[in-house]
């Protein structure tokens, strides 16, 4: 890593070092709200966009440049990694991702293959190389993957779910099948994220987008050991952001599972969330995304509340509590980044 990257505002915050102002990036910053993204997306299917390095790199770079954020996040999707493992993944208009051969039994799990040759996902690593080559020298690139539980839930449910009845049926009723599924996903994800780092990502984020459906006891038993094994299996010195949404009661366990930065959603005050995960780690978050639909004065007040909750403590990375929404005004998103940089210098400055 170059000295310029190492001393970037974002990576200093990851290490809980003082910064000149609070760094900010936004989940789904390359997305449908952005005209530059839609211009590219209108020409291809979503899956083609994910698997074409030239286009995926373009939307990654244009989003970072348009917003002026302190880090870029690789444009990709959580689920394509399931395709070389043996699942038939398609993206249907209005429905999102659909898997037409979901894992509903132990026999189904047995047909899922661990990816031994991670170059089957080589289009992702080529995107990383292209983005890294063209990003500003002081702008880190974030890679990412779905957490084992979230990917398992997609694989079992076959798409979105309210109650996760199929996932929990296997989890509760067939511990051998659940363990076998985790034993295929975790090594695959270690290889996948390690290869992203080798290709040029400075940080990786693990998205446990669906784990909020679990009780603390279920998370401890069925999820924590596998997320912990994933994080501990990554290259030494690679910073990890661990993000879970939907259940602040799980934050102490999220911290126990690992990560240099603990991502917090908007359902908890940032100060209380930082207290739960401990002040010896950095935190990321946690403005309610819907705040961006408010008037400018309200948005400024709500942004200030998040920054005030961080209390100038080194190690705060500003983000939304989840991703940007397609109907958001891109000018308002750019204004939010400016507000964070303007107000974030009031505390924790170098």
Catalytic residue among 37, 154, 219, 222: 154
Which residues, at least 6 apart from 127, have a Cβ–Cβ distance to it below 8 Å?
Answer: 53, 56, 57, 60, 74, 75, 76
CB of 63 within 8 A of CB of 34? yes
Q: Is 37 among the residues known to form the active site?
A: no
Q: Is 32 among the residues known to form the active site?
A: yes
**Alpha-carbon distance 250 to 264, whole Å?**
11
Q: What is the DSSP string of 158-223?
A: SS--SS-HHHHHHHHH-HHHHHHHHHHHHHHHHHHHHHHHHHT-SEEEEEETTGGGS-HHHIIIII
Catalytic residue among 9, 16, 41, 191: 41
**Alpha-carbon distance 307 to 251, whole Å?**
20
**Alpha-carbon distance 200 to 140, whole Å?**
9
For residue 75, give the H/E element and its range.
none
In Å, how far are 95, 204, 251, 271, 289 from 212, measured between CA atoms? Answer: 22, 21, 10, 20, 18
Q: Which residues pair with 317 in a beta bridge?
A: 284
Burial grade of 87 (CB within 10 A; 0-12, 13-18, 19 or more):
buried
Q: Is 164 among the residues known to form the active site?
A: no
β pairing state of 261-263 and 240-244: parallel
CB of 112 within 8 A of CB of 85? yes
Preceding omega of 286 cis (within 30 degrees of 0): yes
Catalytic residue among 33, 37, 77, 108: 77
Catalytic residue among 9, 16, 28, 302: 28
Q: Kindly list the catalytic residues.
A: 28, 32, 41, 77, 154
């Amino acid at each position: 890593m170059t000295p310029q990257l190492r001393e970037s505002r974002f990576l200093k915050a990851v290490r809980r070092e003082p910064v000149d102002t609070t760094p900010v990036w936004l989940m789904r910053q390359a997305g449908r709200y952005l005209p530059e993204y839609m211009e590219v997306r209108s020409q291809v299917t979503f899956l083609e966009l994910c698997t074409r390095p030239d286009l995926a790199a373009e939307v990654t770079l244009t989003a970072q440049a348009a917003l002026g954020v302190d880090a870029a996040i690789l444009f990709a999707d959580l689920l394509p990694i399931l395709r070389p493992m043996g699942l038939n993944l398609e993206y249907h208009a209005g429905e999102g991702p659909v898997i037409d051969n979901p894992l509903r039994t132990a026999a189904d799990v047995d047909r899922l293959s661990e990816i031994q040759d991670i170059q089957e996902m080589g289009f992702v690593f080529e995107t990383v190389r292209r983005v890294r080559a063209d990003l500003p020298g002081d702008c880190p690139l974030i890679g990412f993957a779905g957490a084992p539980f979230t990917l398992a839930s997609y694989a079992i449910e076959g798409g979105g779910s309210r109650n996760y009845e199929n996932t929990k049926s296997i989890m509760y009723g067939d511990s051998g099948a659940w363990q076998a599924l985790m034993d295929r996903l975790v090594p695959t994800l270690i290889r996948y994220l390690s290869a992203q780092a080798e290709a040029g990502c400075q940080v990786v984020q693990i998205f446990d987008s669906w784990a909020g459906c679990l009780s603390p006891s279920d998370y401890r038993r069925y999820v924590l050991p596998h997320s912990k094994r994933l994080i501990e299996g990554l290259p030494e010195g690679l910073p990890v952001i661990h993000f879970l949404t939907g259940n602040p009661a799980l934050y102490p366990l999220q911290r126990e599972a690992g990560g240099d930065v603990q991502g917090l959603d908007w359902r908890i005050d940032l100060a209380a969330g930082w207290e739960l995960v401990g002040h010896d780690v950095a935190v990321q978050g946690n403005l309610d995304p819907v705040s961006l639909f408010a008037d400018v004065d309200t948005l400024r007040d709500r942004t200030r509340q998040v920054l005030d909750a961080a209390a100038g403590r080194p190690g705060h990375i500003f983000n939304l509590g989840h991703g940007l929404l397609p109907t958001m005004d891109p000018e308002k998103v750019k204004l939010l980044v400016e507000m964070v940089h303007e107000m974030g210098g009031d505390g924790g400055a170098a």
